[in-house]
Structure 1
Amino acid sequence: MADLIQIQLQLQSAAEKWGKVAFTPVADGFQIHVNTQDPTRSVQKAARNLNGLGLYKVQLVGDHWTLALQWAFYQGFCNAKNHDGVLFCGDQATQQHLQQLALCFSWAKQLTNQTPDELYPEQLAKQAAAFIQSVAPEGSVTSQVLLDQQLLQAGWHGLHAVGRGSARKPAMLVLDYNPTGNAAAPVTAALVGKGITFDSGGYSIKATESMLAMKCDMGGAATVTAALALAILQGLDKRVQLILCCAENLISSNAYKLGDIITYKNGTTVEIVNTDAEGRLVLADGLMCAAESGAGLIIDAATLTGAAMTAVGGEYNALFALDKVLAQKALAYAEQAQEPTWQLPLELWHQQQCPSAYADTANSRPVKGGGAGGASNAAGFLSRFVPNAGKGWLHFDLAAAFNNSNNAYWAAGATGQGIRTISAALLGEA
C-alpha cells in the first residue's frame, strides 16, 4: 500500500482557500478539496482529473470518505481501460459493499464496452448467465437460451424479426434465480433487458456518427443482469426471473422491412414504419415472457429512445409507469442510490399514439425521431404487452447509460447508471 498513490479528502470549501483548484499534492499523493455544497459531484470531477494525470491505481485514505463519496470517486476515476484502479477504505462492511458494487458495475461496463464483433446475441446471453451463476448460491440458478427458430416455436416473433437479418442469430435468455429450494415457489419479480448487440438501424439506417456507439444498445441487458447480481450479493432471498432479448439489427436480404406486420403472441399486430425502432419490438416479447412467469413486479430497462436523452439529458435516466404508486417508490430508490432519474408521462392513451391503417398499431410514427413525445409513445407501445393494466411494471429508458466521449464527470463508454436503482427495487419490492 505504501507504494500506491494515496488520495485523501479536505472538507474545507475549495472556494474558501483554493479557488478553483480541485486537488493539491501531498507527501504520499493528493488531497481533494471537496465542495461541501455538492460533495459527490466535486469528488467525481476531481477523480476524473486525477485519472487524466495518468494514474492507474490509487488508495483512498483518511477521514471523511463516506461510502457515497468513495463510490463517486470510483465512478469518476475508472474508465474503459481500467476498472480496478481504486482501493477502498473504511470498515469491513463498507469495503465489502463497495467491492460488490465495483464487481457488478465493472462487469456491466466491460460487457457494454465490448466490440460488436466480440459480443453477439448468443454470447451476450451466455455471458450474462455465467455471471449470475458466479455470484449466486450453488444450485439456485437454471437457465435456457432460445435461438433462432426456437424463438418462433415459442411465439417470440418480434425478437426473431429484428434479429433474423444477421448471420449471428437472435437469442433469448430465460434465467430463473430461485434461492428458496422450492420448485413451486412463486416468481416475485422479473427483469427484462434489451440486448441489441449492434444496431445499424436496419433499412431505416443510422448515420455514421449515430451508429458508431451502437455497441452500447445492449446496455439494458447488462444493467438488469448486474442489478440482479448486486441484489443477490446483498441477500436477495426471493425467486426472480431474468429475460434478455438479444439480437443484431442489420441489413440483409432476410432482414425485416418497412411495411412488414408482426403478429405477437398476444394477438397484437404491429406495422413496421421504422426498423430503427427495434428495441420496443424485442422488449414486447420479453415483457410477455415475464407476464407468463406470474411475477408481481416486472422491470424492463433499455437504451430505447433518443427522445429520452433529448428530454432528460445524459445525466438522468427516464422512468415510465402506469402504476403511479410504484413509480414514486422507484424514484425514492433512485434518490437513495444517487442515480438521477426523472419520471416522464405515460398514460393508457399513449398506446394510441402510433396508429396504423394496416395493423393494431405501428412501432413508431413515420417521422424523424418518432415525433413529439417519442419516449412516451415507445413506453405506450410496451404497455400493450404487460399484464394487469400496468400494475407492478416499471420501464427505464437508460439515457444515462453510455457516453460517446469523455466529459468532466465520466469517462467515455458505459456508466452503469440504473444498476443500483433496479437492484434496490428488487430488494424493496420483491
Structure 2
Amino acid sequence: MLDINLLRKQLPEVIARLKTRNFDFPEKEFLALEADRKQVQSETEELQSRRNSLSKKIGIAKKSGAPCEDLMAEAASVPKKLAELEGRLSDIRKKLEALMLRVPNLPNEACPIGPDDRSNVEQWRWGTPRTFDFPIKDHVDVAAPLGMDFDTAAKLSGSRFCFMRGEIAHLHRALAQFMLDLHTRKHGYTECYTPYIVNASTMQGTGQLPKFAEDLYSARIGGYEEEGEHELQYLIPTAEVPLTNSVAGKVLKESDLPIKITALTPCFRSEAGSYGRDTRGMIRQHQFAKVEMVRIVPAEHSYDHLHEMVKNAEEVLQLLGLPYRVIMLSTGDMGFSSAQTFDLEVWLPAQNTYREISSCSNCLDFQARRMGARYKGKDGKVRYVHTLNGSGVAVGRALVAVIENYQNADGSITVPEVLRPYMGGLEKIGPAA
C-alpha cells in the first residue's frame, strides 16, 4: 500500500497521479477519517495531559493533608475514557487501512500516460518473423493431431482448460525445465517449491485482495461446513504470491539482499473480466503453468533489477528463436501493485500479431508495506524492501509460440534446438503414422 504520510502531505499530487491510472481516490472519505483521527488523538492527548495534571495535584494534596477525593474520583474515570478513545482510534485506523488497501500504486513518472493498452509504448523488437510458403495454421489445428485435446478437457472441467498427451505434453514439460535451468544456472535465481493454496492475508500481501477477489479461485478447507467455520483459502493466480510473501513480516539484513527466487507452478485465474476473449486454444486459460521470477532488493537499486529481469525473460525467447517485442505499459494498463511494467510480446504467426508472454514489474515498497517486509541498512535504519516480479515465462503461451513458429507443411513441429536435450534428442514432433 502507499505510505499514508504521502497522502497527508501531498494529497492533491497523489490524487492527480492516481487519476492517470483510472482510479478516483475517495478524497471525502479519506479526509473525513483523517479529521476523526485527529480529533480523537487530540482528545486523547488532552486527557493524558489531564491525567498527569491530576496525578501531580493529588500528590501535592496528600502531602499537604488537603482533601483530594474529587481529584481521585476524576482520576479514576480517566482509564475508562482513554480506553473508549483508543477503541474509537482503532476503529478509525481499521477504516483507513481498508481504504488504503483499495488504492493502487503510484506510477513511475517515466510511464506513458493513457487510459488503456492503446497508450502502451513499444521499446524495441528482437528477431524477424518467419515467412511461410504454406498456409499457416493456428496452434490448435497444428497440435490437435499431436495430442492437444480441448474436448476431453471441456468434458472434465469446462471451457478454458487443456488436456495434453504424448510429445506435446513432453514439449510443454521441456519448456518449463529449460526455463528453470536457465534462470537458476545462469541468472542466479534459487529454485523454490511453493504451496499452490494460500490464505487471505497472503493474497492481500501482494495486492490480489481485496481488489481482484472475483478473479480468484477460492476453497473452504475442511468441507462444506457453515460460513465462518473454516478460513477461506485461495488457489494461487501466480507464483509471485507465495514467493514474494516468503519474506512477509521479516526484518532482513541488507547483506541478505538481493533475494532472487523462481518457481514453476500452476496458476489459476477465473478470468472474470475476459468473457468472449481468446476462447479458442491456450491463450487465455483458467489453469496454466508459469515460471515466475521474484526479486527482493534494497530500495535504491530496484529499477536496475527491473531491467535485469526483463533481460532474463528476453533470453528465454531468444534461445527459443521466437521473435518478440518489449513494450512499456501505460498508466492505465499497469497492474494494481506495479509502479512500472515492461511486457514482452511474442510473435504468433496465425494471429499475425504479438501477444503478451511475460510481464516484469517493479512494485517498489507497495507490497512490502502490506506484508511488513523490511531490511536493516548498513546505516542501522530499517526500511521497507522493494519487490519485483516477472514471468520467466508463461509456459503455455511459449508452447503456443513454438507450435506456430516452428510448424511445418506436413503437420509436424520442429523442436527448437535448445529444447532437444530435454526431449531425448527429438528433432521433430509429427502425427502418428
- Provide TM-score, normalisation by structure 2: 0.28
Using the size of structure 1 for normalisation, the TM-score is 0.28
- The structure where helix makes up a greater share of residues is 2
| Structure of higher CA gyration radius | 2
